[in-house]
Amino acid sequence: MLCKKCGTGNQEDSKFCKDCGSRMEKSIEGYIASALMYRRRGGPSSLGLAVIEMDEALKLDPEDAEANYFMGKFMYDGGFVEDAIEFYDKALKSEPKWADAYFAKGMAYYRMCSIDKAIETFEKVIEINPEYVGAYYFAGITYYHKGRMGKAIENFKEVVRRDPKYAVAYYHLGRSYTKKNLMKEAIKAFESVIAINPTDADTFFHLGFSYAKSGMTDKAIKTLEKAVDLDPNDENSRRLLMELMMM
């Protein structure tokens, strides 16, 4: 933070200039920087200090997009999700094409289980920025929750097309294919997860289930055995494995 009197650079939380001793007056940028510094420290007390600093920024300009956006993030982190949405809306009023603000708003709606509003908001992110991978992923998740598997698959495929190492997107793609009884496609998706993360027991269970549904019993047994090796407490894998071995 620069001293307005002598131009000396000072720490963002300085109250007096280290050179001339003048009282430091923060700009909006200074308050935002201080707030983010406190937030990076972590913990509830730091969050409280971050909110205080951001509130000072908003007193200087209640319509400042950046200050409203970060205050929304702080409210979300503190569990005040409806308040977070109000701040995101204020940010978007000033910056109506801000994809990150829409994405944050979508996450808030998702946390509130307002699935229709979350879908609408994630679709808005994609409209603004068609390369926003996280928006495709959470659009897929929300469509999955609505039972719209076709749209879920469409979005998860966009994720892995843009990021072929996005293992959890392949996982949910596989689950979506399973819901539509498209077992060949589900197998391919779950195999892609394992190629990226070969230690996820849940994926081995779903792959084993897909093999079993496709009549590939030997593969199903070997895959379920691997699931049990990775997680001995996996009752679903144990139960299905026993059923297959008794056939």
Span 99-112, average pLDDT: 98
Give the pLDDT of residue 1: 60
Contacts of 44 (CB under 8 A, 6+ apart): none
What are 87's two structure tokens? 């701040």
Number of CB atoms found within 10 A of residue 121's CB: 26
Give the pLDDT of residue 46: 94
Span 192-202, average pLDDT: 97
State pLDDT tens for residues 139-179: 999 999 999 999 999 999 999 999 999 999 999 999 999 99
Residue 4 has pLDDT above 60, yes or no: no
Span 181-210, average pLDDT: 98
Give the pLDDT of residue 11: 72
- Identify which of 157, 198, 151 has the alpha carbon closest to the alpha carbon of residue 179: 151
Q: Which amino acid is at 31?
A: Y
Give the pLDDT of residue 23: 60
Residue 237 has pLDDT above 80, yes or no: yes
- Identify which of 33, 35, 15, 34 has the alpha carbon closest to the alpha carbon of residue 25: 15
Residue 14 has pLDDT above 80, yes or no: no
Give the pLDDT of residue 12: 60
Rounded to whole angstroms, the Cα distance separating 115 from 153 reads: 17
Residue 133 · residue 165 · CB < 8 Å: no
Cβ-in-10-Å burial (0-12, 13-18, 19+) of 154 comes to: middle
**What percent of the chain is predicted at pLDDT more than 90?**
87
Residue 27 · residue 61 · CB < 8 Å: no
Beta partners for 2? Answer: 9
Number of CB atoms found within 10 A of residue 59's CB: 11
Residue 10 · residue 27 · CB < 8 Å: no
Residue 50 · residue 85 · CB < 8 Å: no
Give the pLDDT of residue 83: 98
State pLDDT tens for residues 24-76: 567 899 899 999 999 999 888 999 999 999 999 999 999 999 999 999 999 99
Give the pLDDT of residue 26: 75
Cα 81 vs. chain centroid, distance in angstroms?
Answer: 15
Residue 238 · residue 209 · CB < 8 Å: no
Residue 3 has pLDDT above 60, yes or no: no
State pLDDT tens for residues 106-135: 999 999 999 999 999 999 999 999 999 999
Span 210-231, average pLDDT: 97
